[in-house]
Structure 1
Amino acid sequence: MASTESRATRGPARGTRPANRRQLIVRAAEDLFYRKGYAKVGMGEVAEAVAIGPSALYRHFRGKQDLLVTVVDDAMRTLEQVLAEATPDDVAERLAAVSLEHRRVGVLWQREARHLPAEQRAELREVTKRIGARLTVLIRLRRPGLGGAEAGLLPWCALATATSVSFHSLSLPEPGFAAVLADLVTRVVDAPITLPAPASEADAVGAAAGLPTQSRREVILAEATRLFARHGFAGVSMDDIGASVGIAGPSLYNHFAAKSDILAAVMYRGDEWLRMEMNRVFARAADARDGLHRLIDSYSGFVLENPDLIQLLVSETAHLPDADRQRARSTQYTYIDEWVHLAVQVHPDWDPLTTRIRVQAAQTTMNDIALIPSLRTRAGVDAALHDVSAALLELR
């Protein structure tokens, strides 16, 4: 897989005029945006990747935003077309294949779409809605007795499982990888979840307002987390954080030496929270199977209660200083390792690599549902996510 991707993103020889130049530009931009982040990539760098001058690049695209729109839009419309041709029997295979073909786009949509103008974001959301609607039709044809509430959740879980490959670099020889991913999508589509019918507005219970903290540092961390999640780390200034807290931007330096220190403090808190919850699980678990069930509940509770924090843990790690970034990634890898260790105890015939792909799929699915407000707040979603994750890890 790695060698195929490197050939796909390698530019043509300088001075040549390949017929597929526009496609090469899109592939090079996709690779650069994925590896370095949209904010850190310039048009000159994209031009260099395909061995052309910047002026030639602008003959194809008006600017960097236009290029990002094209990268994401091409992949999403390809997915829409694939699903339009899919049947209830082959939807998992088709979804797996297109997700591997456009492996980077899950990250780009979740992490970089915030940089797009509102009009383009709205257009891409409409494509996403159509994808979800088509998946709903296919799943209900496959499962005629499925309730409306369940049919409203499972398509997004299936899509999240398929695109989970965007959030890691694990790979298997083909056609094995596509088969594994298709099997995971199938397990999600067929997961035995139950959700209560949506409550009417009259029966809805509003969330508790909560109590404000008196700690200025805590207020800064909370507001920075919210702003970073919505606009990205690069799109938020110290003045923005100060204005949200109600103080002058320079006053923030009484609490944090730099904006990156705020991000590091938030990340450290999230990582430690997960570690502490994991230790509680291990202290109470009867065996490996029980431990995995408890870890699923622990993790789903964390992401559902802290969607902004999970957004940062998933998408903003690259903005940390080197030492903090290495620590954060090491902590995340170690956390996943614990899941893999338990899963292999439950299934001794599973190899660690494929097991890790399963674990990543389960965690990514919970992450993605937590980032969709209409799904995150649905009654019974925590239990449904438990059942989906248990299906992915074959705990039933």
Structure 2
Amino acid sequence: MEPAPPSSPATRPRNRRQLIIDAAGRVFNERGYHAASMEEIALEVGITAPALYRHFPNKYTLFAECATFMADGLVEALDELPPEATLDELFLAASRVTIAHRASGGVYRWEARYLNPDDRRVLRGKFGQVVDRVTDAVTAEEGDLDPALRAAAALGAIGSITMHRTRISAQRAEKLLVGAASRVVATERPRAVASASVEVPSPPVVRIRRAEILAAAIPLFERDGFANVSLGRIAEAVGLAPSAIYRHYPGKVDILAAACLQAAGLLSQSVEQALRGCADPHAAVAALAETYVAYSFEHRSLTSVAEAELVGLPAALQRPLVLAQRDHIALWEQQLRAAQPDLNARDARVLVHAGFGVVVEAGRRLRWQDSPDARRSVAALLLSALGWRD
């Protein structure tokens, strides 16, 4: 019997660099930039750490490419379309890129604050190109809301698919996201929806040192990122010695946990207050939209920290917050399906997240400058994404 021929060496995939970017995006998305390691990313790809370093000299270089990858894909996909492409064609192209890289595409939304200023400007410029292309198409459509606001909101609906894990086929997701984006750009200036008088609960009045420390930490976490803020800086903001912080919080992560719990508590109170007295699901959906927008404007720093930094909490501290998030989504899903019985649970969940994506991107477009008109407009855009009709 002849000996078997020696096995051929493993062939290096031609798309190894792309595999690394996709894997790194997933890890950064799930763990956050600072918690992720090159060794963890290498393991996700199925290569050694030295092999990973042959492609990327350090974690930041890899992170910067991950953060801009989605923007590059969107710019390329829209550039391939002819100038006369319809909005639906633009939205379909954007949806396909976003869905294809769903597991890694969310890095740009929250983790991009860890980019250096030059890379951040480049990223903003690339997304600006995408928004401008869509804005040009929206301008040709009817509607009295600012075209750039409607374009940003529509792209927020599409981008929302990267921010949750609802299992859904790519084809179905495309249909839902393109439909939501199309409804968003058709939104008219609101009349009867989103009353500016909606009030949401406020954080406790700062009377004790523990609350003072939390109130000082939240804007620092929002501006610079949790990992970049030291206990010393928080202590300086409240006029304490760093060692004095430990009398109130065991560590910095406990301050972050307190911020996330406060955000969850205020949102829960807001929703409970909004639904009190709502007689039918149609009215309940409108009330939820009004309240969510009011909450987002009123507590922008707090919600930004809670959304962006949740992955930085230990599992034991994350769990109650994740459960609270699920309960919140489930409530929206329940009311939306009651108002639109043709929706199944997964479709409703995708649309709810699309509505949240609308609020994030529309709010950013408005620079979160709060006014009754801003709240009404963003609530109307959110309701359009859901398919709600006045």
TM-score class, shorter: 0.7 to 0.9
Matched, 1:164 2:160: yes
Alpha-carbon offset, residue 363 of structure 1? 1.8
**1:170/1:357 contact within 8 Å kept:** yes
Correspondence for 2:210: 217
Matched, 1:293 2:286: yes
Give the structure, 1 or 2, with the largest relative contact order (CA under 8 Å, sep 6 or more): 2
Alpha-carbon offset, residue 76 of structure 1? 0.6
Task: State the one-letter code of the partner of 2:112.
Answer: A
Matched, 1:341 2:334: yes
Correspondence for 1:29: 24
- Unaligned runs of at least 5 residues, structure 2: 1-7, 192-204
Q: How does 1:84-233 map to 2 (within 5 A)?
A: 84-86=79-81, 87-89=85-87, 90-141=89-140, 143=141, 145-147=142-144, 150-193=146-189, 213-233=206-226
- Unaligned runs of at least 5 residues, structure 1: 1-12, 196-211
Correspondence for 1:382: 375
Correspondence for 2:35: 40
CA distance in 2, matches of 1:267, 1:102: 28
CA distance in 2, matches of 1:272, 1:88: 43
Aligned residues: 365
Stretch moving more, 225-234 or 50-59? 50-59
Correspondence for 1:303: 296
Stretch moving more, 262-271 or 96-105? 96-105
Q: How does 1:278-289 map to 2 (within 5 A)?
A: 278-289=271-282
Residues 110, 265 of structure 1: CA spacing in aligned structure 2 closer, same or farther, 3 A cutoff?
Answer: same
CA distance in 1, matches of 2:283, 2:156: 25
1:48-81 alpha-carbon deviations (Å, 9 max, x no partner): 3334333332232221111111112222111012
CA distance in 2, matches of 1:369, 1:244: 31
CA distance in 1, matches of 2:361, 2:148: 14
Percent of aligned pairs sharing the same letter: 27
CA distance in 1, matches of 2:240, 2:363: 31
CA distance in 1, matches of 2:237, 2:134: 39
Alpha-carbon offset, residue 333 of structure 1? 0.8
CA distance in 1, matches of 2:339, 2:248: 46
Matched, 1:49 2:44: yes
Normalised to the residue count of structure 1, the TM-score between the two structures is: 0.86
CA distance in 2, matches of 1:267, 1:214: 20
After superposition, the CA RMSD in angstroms is 2.2
Normalised to the residue count of structure 2, the TM-score between the two structures is: 0.87
Task: State the one-letter code of the partner of 1:56.
Answer: A
CA distance in 1, matches of 2:190, 2:117: 36
Correspondence for 2:200: none
Alpha-carbon offset, residue 371 of structure 1? 4.3
1:87-126 alpha-carbon deviations (Å, 9 max, x no partner): 2241221121111112145521122112222211111111
Alpha-carbon offset, residue 213 of structure 1? 4.5
Alpha-carbon offset, residue 14 of structure 1? 9.1
Correspondence for 2:356: 363
Alpha-carbon offset, residue 167 of structure 1? 0.9
CA distance in 1, matches of 2:235, 2:337: 48
